Structures are given as C-alpha cells and as structure tokens.
Amino acid sequence: MSRHFVDLPEGTVHYASAGEGDTVLLLHQTPRSWNEFRDVLPLLGAKRRAIAMDTAGFGDSDALAGGSASVEAWARVAVALLDALAIDRADIVGHHTGAVIAAQVAVSAPERVRSVVLSSSPYDDADARAAQIGTRAVVDDVVRDPDGSHVLELWRIRASFYPAGGTDLLERFIIDALKAGSLAAEGHRIVARFDVPAALERLRCPIMLIGASDDPYAYPAFERMRKALPDAAFEAIAGGMVPLPDQMPEEFAAAVERFLDQL
C-alpha cells in the first residue's frame, strides 16, 4: 500500500492505493478519511487497483475554498482525481456520505463510472432532510473547549455506534474528526441538503446496496432502497455497525468483490 498527494485545481488531494488492474475508488463517511478503508485496501488490491481518497476537507486533503463544500463539489473533486490519474472508468464504492458522493459521481459523469456500491447510504425524504438542516447535527457537533472535554464528548457520542471493546476504531475516528474541524458536523448537514432519492433514480449503471444490520441510521432505509432500486444487487452484513469498513473489513471487501466479479 502506498500514499500519494495530487495537486488539482480544487486543491491538494491525498489518497492511498494498493494493487493493479481495474480501478475501484473508495469514498469514506463523514468525518472519516481514507483510513476508514485501511484494512479493505489490501484485500481489494489483491485483484484490482484500489484507491481510497480523502474527500476535500477531510483527512489530508485540502478544504474547498470559501465554504463551497457540497456533495456536488466533492463529486467534482473525485472526478478530477480520476482525471489526474488518467483513469477513464472506475467502480465507485462509498460508505455513508461516501455513498452519496458516489451516486453523484455516477449521475454527473456517467461515462466515468462502471458501477457503484452504496454502503449504508442515507435515503431521507424531504421532511427528514429539512429537519437536519440548520439544526445541531445528530452526531459530531461539539463545542471545542480549551480543557479538551470536547474530545471526550466526541468519544461518548460515537461509542454506542461502535462494537464493544472497539477502542482502536474509536481512536481512528477521533483522529479524523479532530482533523476535519467544523466539517465533522457540517458534513452531515451538507448531506441533508442533497436529494439522495432523486439522485438514485437517475443512476444507469450497475448498482449494489450494502446494509449493516446494526447501523441505526442507515439500515432502516435499506429495504426502502431495495424497493426503489429493484434491479440492484444487495447484501446485508449481520452485525455490521456504523464503522462497517474498518469494523468488518473482510466481510465488506468480500461483498464488494462478489459484486465486481459478476461484472
């Protein structure tokens, strides 16, 4: 596995990669980074060129100028990275926020996308999205305190969404959340402003849906998405939680592999 920085018109983007062959681009949730796929990369990289990028403003990628972050802008940066790496087409795999970005990439640049894998994608209607905009985010919205107590608050907020004894996973999350700064919370509101159901209706490539059975945010929407996308492949991963890719990397990678191998 290797790590790289690429200078784009939108700023510098960091990514990690493993393997050679057909490209699969991995997009993380808010407020994570490529590190969410740290253990998935070598598994997918055994047969493919697996690339996990830091979304603009997260991890080690530059934030977009002037507070212009949006799902559409994040998707444009992902396509710009494909351009910079001379990748004509890729399979796009996204988890939570990454799934929303993946859908937008496929809608805005369909010629660049062979397939999409939407893992734990949100699927909120207009009323549910409106309730999240302009309010305190459900998670990760903490006031930074000079005594550092906000770090413990972040830990406590997220702990119930992680497996018992998952200290190492929570530490990965804390590092990414602190690096993201205000985007750790604002990223959730940015997703709420995006009409996911409308975007999914416009997808014309092969689709796979992955559901994590113990994810209280995304899994309730899994069956609704299956009905809305009857031709999509699907797989539910028992015991999967919010941090599915780094909680269960083998199961996650195997599900993605099964779908991509069929293509």
- Phi then psi dihedrals of residue 168, to 5 deg: -65, -35
If you average pLDDT over residues 62-68, what whole number do you get? 90
Neighbours of 93 (CB within 10 A): 31
pTM of the predicted structure, to 2 decimals: 0.96
Residue whose entry in the numeric block shows the structure tokens 């996204």: 94
The yes-or-no verdict on residue 76 having pLDDT over 80 is yes
What 3-state class would DSSP assign to 11?
Answer: strand
Question: Based on the structure, what is the number of domains in the chain?
Answer: 1
**Helices and strands per DSSP (H, E), number in the chain:** 11, 8
Strand extents, DSSP E, 29-148? 49-53, 90-95, 113-119
CATH number, domain of 10, equals 3.40.50.1820
Residues 246, 96: Cα–Cα separation, whole Å: 13
Say what the pLDDT of residue 137 is.
66
- Phi then psi dihedrals of residue 100, to 5 deg: -65, -45
The yes-or-no verdict on residue 60 having pLDDT over 90 is yes
Beta bridge partners of 233: 208
Say what the pLDDT of residue 237 is.
98
Strand extents, DSSP E, 29-174? 49-53, 90-95, 113-119
Three-class HEC string of 141-202: CCCCCCCCHHHHHHHHHHHCCCCCCCHHHHHHHHHHHHHHCCHHHHHHHHHHCCCHHHHHHC
Q: What is the pLDDT of residues 116-140, one digit of tens each?
A: 999 999 998 888 888 877 667 668 9
Neighbours of 24 (CB within 10 A): 26
Neighbours of 20 (CB within 10 A): 11
* pLDDT band, residue 231 (cuts 50/70/90): very high
- Phi then psi dihedrals of residue 38, to 5 deg: -55, -40
Name the residue range of residue 224's domain: 2-262
